[in-house]
Amino acid sequence: MLPERNFSNLLAARWRDADSLLCVGLDPDPQRFAPSLRNRKDAILRFCCAIADATAPYACAFKPQIAYFAAQRAEDQLEDLMAHLRARHPDIPVVLDAKRGDIGSTAEQYAREAFERYGADAVTLSPFMGHDTIEPFLAYAGRAAFLLCRTSNPGGNDLQMLDVGGEHLFERLARLAADAWHRPGQIGLVVGATFPRELARVRELAPSLPLLVPGVGAQGGDIPATVRAGCDIDGFGLLINSSRAILYASSGDDYADAAAQAARQTRDEINRSRGDRRDNR
Amino acid sequence: MLPERNFSNLLAARWRDADSLLCVGLDPDPQRFAPSLRNRKDAILRFCCAIADATAPYACAFKPQIAYFAAQRAEDQLEDLMAHLRARHPDIPVVLDAKRGDIGSTAEQYAREAFERYGADAVTLSPFMGHDTIEPFLAYAGRAAFLLCRTSNPGGNDLQMLDVGGEHLFERLARLAADAWHRPGQIGLVVGATFPRELARVRELAPSLPLLVPGVGAQGGDIPATVRAGCDIDGFGLLINSSRAILYASSGDDYADAAAQAARQTRDEINRSRGDRRDNR
């Protein structure tokens, strides 16, 4: 039995209670850690917990990126981090960024990894193999899946911008997620911040889906344009992710304080851009 | 420094020396293990090593599926399995089936996981995010990446069969892999066995790429049709994967012997279908 959590409810409550659309990405790179953490066996766990505790007041969600743990043989530290987040910050939903995608029987194993082993509230997935590769994740009531839709890396154009009968592939995906593949509260999309026009198009096609938006901060996405393009009609609907600009705001032992300051500034910048909509609530 | 191995050379030699196009998939499901393995802490490792040792004479490659290890908190057993395969079967290339796909900095972490941590010779990848998400893997000289192209699950049609300007998306991918994204000896494609006509089309578009073909055995793909459609001009070019039909050929403690027999039969069935081409070598 999984503990009773509901990603969609947690997120909606957190957007309002923390007045934040900021998602804090946890991409721990030991080469960038402060001196006091170097050579500690549990450096990754300590770093991530300190960042999470410091930035929690400004976060609507946390997003650990599993590749950074896997490359360091640190799955045990990811388990401990997830337990820490649930215990200390039970009202903040956690999206495990894993971008899995495989056929049914294998997808069941990945779903077990994300939801049972790590206790994530949501997971990122690649939609390349189609609807049945998403379903084993949606079988977990209350958990959610964010499907890759439009990514902001240079090669994002290679497939996502192909014309598939009068619309781009990413538009088709947004329509599928909002319609044929939709399950209330269980589906979101990943849309990069660097193409606000396309973000606006996704919002148009999927008016009520939560959009996970990487690419602000170190990757250069523009916050006001992202907010204008991506917020839903109530001024919510976004998880605007920042990782490196927060995690490595200082390379010294004041990294957690610096992260808190960077997170607060980013949240505030997002909220200034939301200004009008927040006033109208 | 990684040990000097070259996937493409290993595979070409193994195709010839073992006279086999059979790839043995290692998808360990503890619920299906024989009685003697139950409740052993190292059951996954023991099972996979026993299967590998028994089927090695008939295998051109091994393909561990990482999800089965991750769901069981068994990354350490996967590390030990990979070390066992390199030590005992150094002439058999190992494809880590992980279907990763992420932007550059994160892809570097996944590449480190696959090639440095696990020492895989090749890895499966999702191409959804484009060429730059493949490159960090190709930066490892001698290692290879198999890109998802046409998958045989029901939802495989959802994206892969979309018309992208006069051809299907999977055809576009095959052309990209054979041309714009190509690196000699480092790129292959994953094409399911259940659509021989599409497999033939991929072979036409990518005459010299190795094709990893899941879907025979438990998934019902037809071996003669697969061989006819997918072999290259020399009668090689395929890694025809079978997992469950070999791994669980017996549910008793004779599972390794039963796996060897199933592997030999599958290899022989493949070779009978190759008959004419093998005679012409």
Q: Does the distance separating the beta carbons of B127 and A128 come in below 8 Å? A: yes
- Among B44, B78, B82, B99, pick the best mutation site for testing chain A contact (most A Cβ within 10 A): B99
| CATH level 3 topology of B7-279 | TIM Barrel (3.20.20)
d(CA B259, CA B272): 20
pLDDT at B3: 61
Answer for the pair A3, A87: CB distance below 8 angstroms, yes or no. Answer: no
Q: Where are the domains of chain A?
A: 7-279
- B167 at A interface, C-beta within 8 A: no
Give the pLDDT confidence of A92-109 residue by residue, as tens digits: 999 999 999 999 899 999
pLDDT at A236: 97
Give the residue ranges of DSSP H helices in B123-182. Answer: 135-138, 156-160, 169-178
Give the pLDDT confidence of B216-240 residue by residue, as tens digits: 876 677 999 999 999 999 999 999 9
Give pTM, 2 decimals: 0.97
* Confidence check: pLDDT of B53 > 90: yes
Give the pLDDT confidence of A150-202 residue by residue, as tens digits: 998 999 999 999 999 999 999 999 999 999 999 999 999 999 998 999 999 99
* Confidence check: pLDDT of B72 > 70: yes
Provide mean pLDDT across the span B203-212.
Answer: 98
Buried b (16+ CB within 10 A) or exposed e, A97-134: bbbbbbbebbbbbbbbbbbebbbbbbbbbbbbbbbebb
What distance in Å separates residue B280's CA from the closest CA in chain A?
37
E strand intervals along B45-202? 61-64, 95-100, 122-125, 144-150, 187-191
Q: Does the distance separating the beta carbons of B71 and A110 come in below 8 Å? A: yes
Q: Which residues in chain B have Cβ-Cβ distances shorter than 8 Å to A117? A: 70-71, 73
Question: Catalytic: B99?
Answer: yes
- Residue A198's nearest CA partner among A154, A155, A150, A160 is A150
* Confidence check: pLDDT of B175 > 70: yes
Angle at B11 between CA B26 and CA B111, to 5 degrees: 65
pLDDT at B4: 84
Give the pLDDT confidence of B83-120 residue by residue, as tens digits: 999 999 999 999 999 999 999 899 999 999 999 999 99
Q: Does the distance separating the beta carbons of B163 and A164 come in below 8 Å? A: yes
Percentage of residues in chain A having pLDDT higher than 90:
91
pLDDT category of residue B277 using cuts at 50, 70 and 90: low
What distance in Å separates residue A170's CA from the closest CA in chain B?
10
- B38 at A interface, C-beta within 8 A: no
DSSP of B3-36: ----HHHHHHHHHHHTT--EEEEE---GGG--GG
- A179 at B interface, C-beta within 8 A: no
pLDDT at A67: 98
Q: Does the distance separating the beta carbons of B169 and A159 come in below 8 Å? A: yes
Find the CB nearest A165 among B99, B148, B163: B163
Give the pLDDT confidence of B16-41 residue by residue, as tens digits: 999 999 999 999 999 999 999 998 99
Searching chain B, which residue's CA lies closest to the CA of residue A133? B155
Provide mean pLDDT across the span A84-96.
Answer: 98
pLDDT at A278: 67
Of the listed ranges A158-172, A212-226, B53-67, B170-184, the one predicted with least confidence = A212-226
Give the neighbor-by-neighbor strand order of the sheet with A22-26. Answer: A61-64, A22-26, A238-242, A211-213, A187-191, A144-150, A122-125, A95-100
- Residue B56's nearest CA partner among B26, B21, B24 is B24
Share the mean pLDDT of chain B: 95
- Tell me, what's the ipTM? 0.96
Give the pLDDT confidence of A122-132 residue by residue, as tens digits: 999 999 999 99
Find the CB nearest A158 among B130, B159, B163: B130
